[in-house]
Amino acid sequence: MRDLPAEKFEFERDARTKGRFDDRKAAMPYALVDAVGRGSGVTRILYKYVAVLATVTIGISPAFSQPPEGRVSRQSEGSYRLPYADGTTLSVFDDADTHRPGGALDLIGEPRTGGPHRIVAAADGTIMALVDRYKEKQSGRAAELCRNNYLWLSHVNGEWTLHSHMRSGSSSAKAGLKVGDKVRAGQYLGDEGDVGCAMLSHLHFEVAVPTAEGPIDARGFLTDNVRRERMRLPRFCSVAGEYVRKDTRYTARACK
Ligand SMILES: [Zn+2]
């Protein structure tokens, strides 16, 4: 059973959920099941009672048999470059398997004190959505209160890529970008940041195939993505084996 400390959720709640899935609610029965597994005697029975009660109260009956969100298994059509400026070393805080909800990546430019790290387009694309007016770091807020900066690009293969938490004004004023602009792979999009529900400066990155109608909601989250069905596992051109892994370092560079 996965361990899901509350602290972890603060970081993860940079994403998704409102009206679809509440990470905290989904996680609670999991944490309790964990506790049941560890306890003994009276403690074990007590934990079990609380777990059942919590599950019934919260109304997440399948929580004992299913993970909090669908595991993403479909790989991306595109083979992307790592979305940091050429030569940047980056580490993977969470990969597509460990990120909650699944399928997205949390990437960190290294050294962490060496920023601001420059975020770039992972492929040629068109800017479909750009919000960079927020300034506040909101670690610990409820998911529905997250005000993340975000930039979505669409690509000719039908996939979109998301870049989230970037610094206020770095996409519009500093990079001079606006919705409708076409960008090239490797073009500067903004600076890595911690705006919105983020615990530390990082880039939340994801690849998705959105719906044609209303692909994202007002907060920049994918619509019609209940079981993460719209997500794709990001493949990268310069990464051995194509997928990045948690706690591993990579150097960003252009695709050949
Ligand atoms: Zn994330």
Q: Which fold has domain 75-251?
A: Glucose Permease (Domain IIA) (2.70.70)
CA 164 to centroid of ligand 1, rounded, Å: 8
Amino acid at 99: H
pLDDT digits (tens, 9 = 90+) for 214-247: 999 999 999 999 889 999 999 999 999 999 999 9
CA 151 to centroid of ligand 1, rounded, Å: 14
**Where on the phi/psi map is residue 165: left (φ > 0), alpha (ψ -120 to 50), or beta?**
left
- Coil, strand or helix at 161: strand
41-58 and 23-38 helices cross at what angle (nearest 10)? 160
CA 204 to centroid of ligand 1, rounded, Å: 4
**Threshold 0.85, pTM exceeds:** no
CA 42 to centroid of ligand 1, rounded, Å: 39
Peptide bond into 111 cis (omega under 30): yes
109, 133, 139, 152: which is closest to 12 by C-alpha? 139
CA 12 to centroid of ligand 1, rounded, Å: 6
**What's the pLDDT score for residue 143?**
74
Print pLDDT tens along the chain (256 aa).
Answer: 233 333 333 333 333 333 333 333 333 333 443 444 445 566 555 655 555 555 444 444 333 333 445 679 999 999 999 999 999 999 999 999 999 899 999 999 999 998 899 999 999 999 999 999 999 999 888 877 889 999 999 999 999 999 999 999 999 999 999 999 999 999 999 999 999 999 999 999 999 999 999 999 999 999 999 889 999 999 999 999 999 999 999 999 999 8
**What's the pLDDT score for residue 130?**
98
Task: At 242, list the tokens.
Answer: 């194509």
CA 256 to centroid of ligand 1, rounded, Å: 28
**What's the pLDDT score for residue 44?**
59
232, 247, 242, 200: which is closest to 90 by C-alpha? 247
CA 105 to centroid of ligand 1, rounded, Å: 6
79 in Cβ contact with 255 (< 8 Å): yes
Boundaries of every domain in the chain: 6-64, 75-251
